[in-house]
Chain A
Amino acid sequence: MDQPLSSTEQAKKAKKRRKESSLWWMYLPSVLLVMLFIVYPFLDGIRISLTNWNGFSQIYDYVGLEQYKRMFADPDTWLVVKNTLLYGIGSTVLQNIIGLGYALLLNYNLKVRTLTRTIIYLPVIISPLVMGYIWYFFFAYQGGALNDIYNWLGLDPINALGNPEVNPYIIVFVNTFQFVGVAMIIYLAGLQSISKEYYEAANIDGASSWSKFKNITLPLLAPAITINVVINIIGGLKLFDVIVSLTNGGPGNASQSMSTFMYSLYFARQDAGYAATQGVLMALIILVLSLAALLYLKRKEVEA
Chain B
Amino acid sequence: MNQVSKRAKWFLTAVALVITLLHLIPYYILLTTAFKRAGDFSSKWMFPKYFSLENFTAAWEQANLSNAFMNTFVITFFAAAMLILFGSLAAYALARRQTRLNKYVYMLFVAVMVIPPLTALVPLYQLVVDVGLMNTRLVAVLNNVAAFLPLTIFLYAGFIRSTVPKELEEAAKMDGASTIGIFFRIVFPLLKPITATVLILSCVYIWNDYQFAIFFLQDSDMHTLTVALASFFGQNTSQLGLVGAAALIASLPMIFLFLFLQRFFIEGLAAGSVKG
Interface residues of A (CB under 8 A from B): 17-18, 20-24, 26-27, 29-31, 33-34, 36-42, 44-45, 47-48, 55, 102, 105-113, 115-131, 133-138, 140, 142-145, 148-149, 151, 177, 182, 185-186, 189, 191, 196, 199, 227, 230-232, 234-235, 237-238, 240-241, 244-245, 259, 262-263, 266, 272, 275-276, 279-280, 282-283, 286-287, 290-291
Size bracket of the B interface? 35 or more
How many A-B pairs with Cβ below 8 Å?
290
**Interface contact B119-A279, CB-CB below 8 Å:** yes
The 7 closest A-B pairs by CB, nearest first: A231-B276, A37-B146, A27-B90, A41-B120, A127-B208, A44-B123, A23-B93
Residue B23 at the chain A interface, CB threshold 8 Å: yes
Q: Which chain B residues border A280 with CB–CB below 8 Å?
A: 119
**Interface contact A279-B122, CB-CB below 8 Å:** yes
In the docked arrangement, what's the CA distance between A37 and B124, Å? 7
Residue B65 at the chain A interface, CB threshold 8 Å: no
Residue B118 at the chain A interface, CB threshold 8 Å: yes
CB < 8 Å: which of B1, B123, B265, B276 contacts A41?
Answer: B123
Q: Which chain B residues border A189 with CB–CB below 8 Å?
A: 270
- Among B110-130, those with CB < 8 Å from A are 112, 114-127
Interface centre among B9, B116, B243 (most CB of A within 10 A): B116
Q: Which chain B residues border A36 with CB–CB below 8 Å?
A: 127, 146
**Interface contact A33-B244, CB-CB below 8 Å:** no
Question: A23 with B179: in contact, given A185-B270, A263-B121 (CB under 8 Å)?
Answer: yes
In the docked arrangement, what's the CA distance between A20 and B96, Å? 10
**Interface contact B179-A128, CB-CB below 8 Å:** no
CB < 8 Å: which of A20, A42, A117, A130 contacts B97?
Answer: A20
Residue B172 at the chain A interface, CB threshold 8 Å: no
In the docked arrangement, what's the CA distance between A22 and B211, Å? 36
**Interface contact A112-B13, CB-CB below 8 Å:** yes
Question: A126 with B226: in contact, given A33-B145, A107-B1, A231-B276 (CB under 8 Å)?
Answer: no
Q: Which chain B residues border A31 with CB–CB below 8 Å?
A: 90, 105, 108
Q: Is the interface of B mostly helix, strand, loop or mixed?
A: helix
Q: Is the interface of A mostly helix, strand, loop or mixed?
A: helix
Q: How far is the CB of B149 from chain A (nearest CB, A)?
A: 5
**Interface contact A37-B143, CB-CB below 8 Å:** yes
Interface centre among B147, B179, B208 (most CB of A within 10 A): B208
In the docked arrangement, what's the CA distance between A37 and B125, Å? 10
Q: How far is the CB of A83 from chain B (nearest CB, A)?
A: 15
Q: Which chain A residues border B269 with CB–CB below 8 Å?
A: 124, 182, 185
CB < 8 Å: which of A38, A128, A276 contacts B115?
Answer: A38
**Interface contact A145-B45, CB-CB below 8 Å:** yes
In the docked arrangement, what's the CA distance between A180 and B114, Å? 22
Q: List 13 A-B contacts (CB under 8 A).
A: A17-B100, A24-B105, A30-B153, A34-B109, A40-B127, A44-B120, A110-B12, A125-B255, A127-B250, A129-B208, A143-B44, A241-B210, A266-B122
In the docked arrangement, what's the CA distance between A33 and B127, Å? 13
Interface residues of B (CB under 8 A from A): 1-2, 4, 9, 12-13, 15-17, 19-20, 23-27, 29-30, 33, 41, 43-45, 86-87, 89-90, 92-94, 96-102, 105, 108-109, 112, 114-127, 142-143, 145-147, 149-150, 153, 179, 183, 204, 207-208, 210-211, 225-226, 229-230, 233, 238, 240, 243-244, 247, 250-251, 254-255, 257-259, 262, 265-266, 269-270, 273-276
CB < 8 Å: which of B115, B230, B255 contacts A244?
Answer: B230
**Interface contact A126-B119, CB-CB below 8 Å:** no
Q: Which chain B residues border A110 with CB–CB below 8 Å?
A: 9, 12-13, 16
**Interface contact A130-B250, CB-CB below 8 Å:** yes
**Interface contact A48-B122, CB-CB below 8 Å:** yes
Q: How far is the CB of A186 from chain B (nearest CB, A)?
A: 5
In the docked arrangement, what's the CA distance between A282 and B17, Å? 40
Q: Which chain B residues border A185 with CB–CB below 8 Å?
A: 266, 269-270, 273
**Interface contact B120-A38, CB-CB below 8 Å:** yes
Q: Which chain B residues border A151 with CB–CB below 8 Å?
A: 43
Q: Which chain A residues border B125 with CB–CB below 8 Å?
A: 266
CB < 8 Å: which of B19, B99, B123 contacts A116?
Answer: B19
CB < 8 Å: which of B12, B41, B251 contacts A127?
Answer: B251
Chain A residue at smallest Cβ distance from B127: A41
CB < 8 Å: which of A24, A122, A263 contacts B258?
Answer: A122
Q: How far is the CB of B145 from chain A (nearest CB, A)?
A: 6
Chain A residue at smallest Cβ distance from B90: A27
**Interface contact A137-B251, CB-CB below 8 Å:** no
**Interface contact A29-B86, CB-CB below 8 Å:** yes
